[in-house]
A and B are shown apart, each in its own frame.
Chain A
Amino acid sequence: MRHVFNFLQSTVGRKYLMALTGLVLVFFVLGHMLGNLQIFLGAEAINAYAYKLHKLLPASALWFIRLFLLICIAIHVWTAVTLTLDNRKARPQGYQKKQAIQATYSSRTMRMSGIILLSFIFFHIAHFTVRSVPGMKYNEPGVISKKVDASNDFIPTEVPLVKKGEAVFKNGQKIMTFNVHDMMIAGFKSKLVSLFYIVATGLLCLHLTHGVSSMFQSLGIRNSFWRVRLDRVALVYGWTIFLGFAVIPIATLVGILRADPSGGLIANAQVHQQEDITHKLFTQEVTLK
């Protein structure tokens, strides 16, 4: 135990923890982004994805993953806070004139981006996971949840799970699932919320452009040859994550993404209709010629 304590006390050991938890979170955001992007495949796809995440995994596994991620965030933040305090103490009197020689903007602003990101994570979990941000339209009929007659409780609006344009049946009953698609779109309809999401993912990009390369250094697996390349990887990674996340609120605001209270049934019906029309047009054109 003494050794573990010793390791945790050292500046180098804490950086190890920061890098390892950072690595977990780096992969998590990538998975999260890829999951989110399925919204462009329609309500059918993203609702089925959410259904798989929540219903096919045992509840304990889901909670284990959530807990694990929260612990990673907690360790990441704890190391950041204690190291920052130590670092502040190491220079009680600053320079009257100080110039950064080469330090990048992202590396000098890790604390700022980190603190704003943390507050964003709290908001985000309250917004979309716990769904309890006051003033958000959770209770609009057909969007998120509807009012139960007697009590004041809300229950989530369920839509059928759709596969290939048809509702999925199990034991003669439609499988119902939560309409994640419309929850996201309803959330991003608010300009203020969307703006916060876009700014936060922008800061995430900033945080990652230093962090993704820096974590290799902290783990001792980087050299000058790899540094330039890892810096580039980090830059591309940061921008990919930013664009992948930010495109959803933007697409909602400009009206590319629209609510679909049927959970994909009607949209698919429309697509089928449209296919029919184009098919007809095409055949007509051929006959005209």
Chain B
Amino acid sequence: MNFTLRVWRQKDSVSRGELVEYKIQDVSEDSSFLEMLDILSENLVEDGKMPMAFDYDCREGICGMCSLTIDGIPHGPESGTTACQLHMRHFKDGQTITIEPWRAKPFPVVKDLIVDRSPLDKIIQSGGFITTRAGSATDANTHLIDKGTADYAMDAAACIGCGACVAACPNASAMLFTSAKVAHMNSLPQGKPEKHRRALAMVSTMDGEGFGGCTNIGECEAACPKNISLDVIAHLNRDYAIAQVKNFFKPSA
């Protein structure tokens, strides 16, 4: 297959970037999107140019490192699929494909298609944990969790922290990511004791990092490679309000 690629190239975080057009030929329809970029990089090196810089690690859809906005959609047109799991057979032969990095103020471009996503880590650091000593694993069935709750928490925990929700959101909001973490931990018995503190802290960090607010448009859910549902955002909104009220009437120390 042959493609015309319009790719974002940017030397470093301070330089101005631009879309550069490349032609690429004889790409196998079974190659993944990242493999296609590998071929592009090889061609570039042969021509004595800088290879493409883009993030990846597992290449099997579980690490959340790959972060490409493909034709205006984070992770590309296939729903529930990371860019590394997207195959070229989903594109038309001869098509022009535009590839850009995630765009959000908290995600500055480091180089080409690589952005700095450490603000998501800061959100996790502020509340995405439990403070009991985990120690060695407890016996199974010490904490009884009904199937519905376990499934719900598991679905929320599927978030791989890729940031596609931020990239897709017209407001660059990190609500889906933050809510997935809050919903995951707040619904399980181990996380419940700290649910209010967690909701308050993670929202406050999220706002502080400069992400936008949620306008309930749902682009995040549609772009999410793990199909995290908007339900988790409603969950966070609920827990956050209850936490604020509790906080308000808390006896002063």
A residues whose Cβ falls under 8 Å from a Cβ of B = 3-4, 6-7, 9-16, 83, 86-104, 107-108, 110, 210, 213-214, 216-224, 227
In the bound assembly, the distance between CA atoms of A227 and B232 in angstroms comes to 13
A220 to B231, CA, bound (A): 9
Can you show 25 pairs from A to B with CB atoms below 8 A apart? A7-B244, A10-B204, A11-B206, A11-B207, A11-B213, A13-B240, A86-B213, A89-B105, A89-B210, A91-B170, A95-B100, A96-B6, A97-B72, A101-B223, A102-B218, A103-B170, A107-B218, A108-B170, A214-B216, A218-B216, A219-B237, A219-B238, A219-B241, A220-B240, A221-B238
A residues near B241, Cβ cutoff 8 Å: 12, 16, 219-220
Q: In chain B, residues 204-253, which have Cβ atoms closer than 8 Å to a Cβ of chain A? A: 204, 206-207, 210-219, 222-223, 229-231, 233-241, 244, 247-248
Provided the pairs A12-B236, A91-B103 are in contact, do residues A96 and B218 lie with their beta carbons within 8 angstroms? no
State whether the Cβ of B82 lies closer than 8 Å to any Cβ in chain A: no
| A219–B233 alpha-carbon span in the complex (Å) | 10
* In the complex, chain B residues whose CB is within 8 Å of the CB of A97: 71-72, 98, 100
The reply to whether B216 and A99 form a contact with Cβ atoms under 8 Å apart is: no
A213 and B217 alpha carbons, distance in the complex (Å): 11
Task: Assess whether B19 is interfacial by the CB under 8 Å rule.
Answer: yes
B104 partner residues in chain A, CB cutoff 8 A:
90-91
Look across to chain B and name the residue whose beta carbon is closest to the beta carbon of A219.
B237
A interface, by DSSP: helix, strand, loop or mixed? helix
A217 pairs with B229, CB closer than 8 A: no
Contacts of A89 in B (CB 8 A): 105, 210, 212
Q: Which residues of B contact A (CB under 8 A)?
A: 6, 19, 69, 71-73, 98, 100, 103-106, 168, 170-173, 175, 203-204, 206-207, 210-219, 222-223, 229-231, 233-241, 244, 247-248
Say whether A110 contacts B204, CB under 8 Å.
no
Contacts of A14 in B (CB 8 A): 213
Report A-chain residues with C-beta under 8 Å of the C-beta of B235. Answer: 220
Q: Which residues of B lie under 8 Å from residue A214 when comparing CB positions?
A: 215-216
Tell me which residues across on chain A come within 8 A of B230, comparing CB atoms. 217, 224, 227
Residue of A nearest to B178 (CB): A12
Please give, as numbers and ranges, the residues of chain A lying within 8 Å of B213 by CB-CB distance. Answer: 11-12, 14-15, 83, 86-87
Given A86-B213, A87-B173, A94-B103, also A217-B168 (CB < 8 A): no
Q: Are A101 and B237 in contact (CB under 8 A)?
A: no
Q: Contact at A103–B100, with CB atoms within 8 Å?
A: no
CB of B233 within 8 A of CB of A217, answer yes
Q: Is the interface of B mostly helix, strand, loop or mixed?
A: mixed
Smallest beta-carbon distance B90→chain A, Å: 15
Q: Are B171 and A99 in contact (CB under 8 A)?
A: no
> Which residues of chain A have C-beta atoms less than 8 A from B239's C-beta?
220
Contact of A220 among B6, B171, B229, B238 (CB under 8 A): B238
Q: How far is it, in angstroms, between the C-alpha of A90 and the C-alpha of B238 when the chains are bound? A: 24
Q: Report A-chain residues with C-beta under 8 Å of the C-beta of B72.
A: 95, 97-99
CB distance from B212 to the nearest CB of A (A): 3
Q: B214 contacts which chain A residues (CB < 8 A)? A: 11-12, 15, 218
Contact B234 A99, beta carbon cutoff 8 Å? no
* Residue among B103, B236, B247 with the highest chain A CB neighbour number at 10 A: B103
- In the docked arrangement, what's the CA distance between A88 and B241, Å? 25
Selected from B98, B168, B203, the residue in CB contact (under 8 A) with A11 is B203
Most chain A beta carbons < 10 A, residue from B6, B73, B175: B73
Contact (Cβ within 8 A) A11 B173: yes
- Which residues on the B side are within 8 Å of A6 (C-beta)? 204, 244
Contacts of B216 in A (CB 8 A): 107, 210, 213-214, 217-218
CA distance A90 to B210 in the complex (A): 6
Residues of A within 8 A of B217 (CB): 103-104, 107-108
Least CB distance, A287 to chain B, in whole angstroms: 69
Q: Give the Cβ gap from B239 to chain A, nearest Cβ, in Å.
A: 7
Residues from chain A with Cβ under 8 Å of B237 in the complex: 12, 15-16, 217-220
Kindly name the residue among A94, A217, A221 whose own CB sees the greatest number of chain B CB atoms within 10 A: A217
**8 Å CB contact of B207 from A9, A88, A96, A99:** A9
Nearest first, the 5 closest Cβ-Cβ pairs linking A and B are A220-B238, A11-B213, A90-B212, A99-B72, A87-B171
**In the complex, chain A residues whose CB is within 8 Å of the CB of B6:** 96
Q: Which residues of B contact A101 (CB under 8 A)?
A: 73, 168, 219, 222-223
Cβ distance A225 to chain B, nearest Cβ, rounded Å: 9
**A217 vs B221: C-alpha distance in the bound complex, in angstroms?**
14
What's the nearest-Cβ distance from chain A to residue B83, in Å?
A: 15
CB distance from A91 to the nearest CB of B (A): 4
Residue of A nearest to B73 (CB): A99
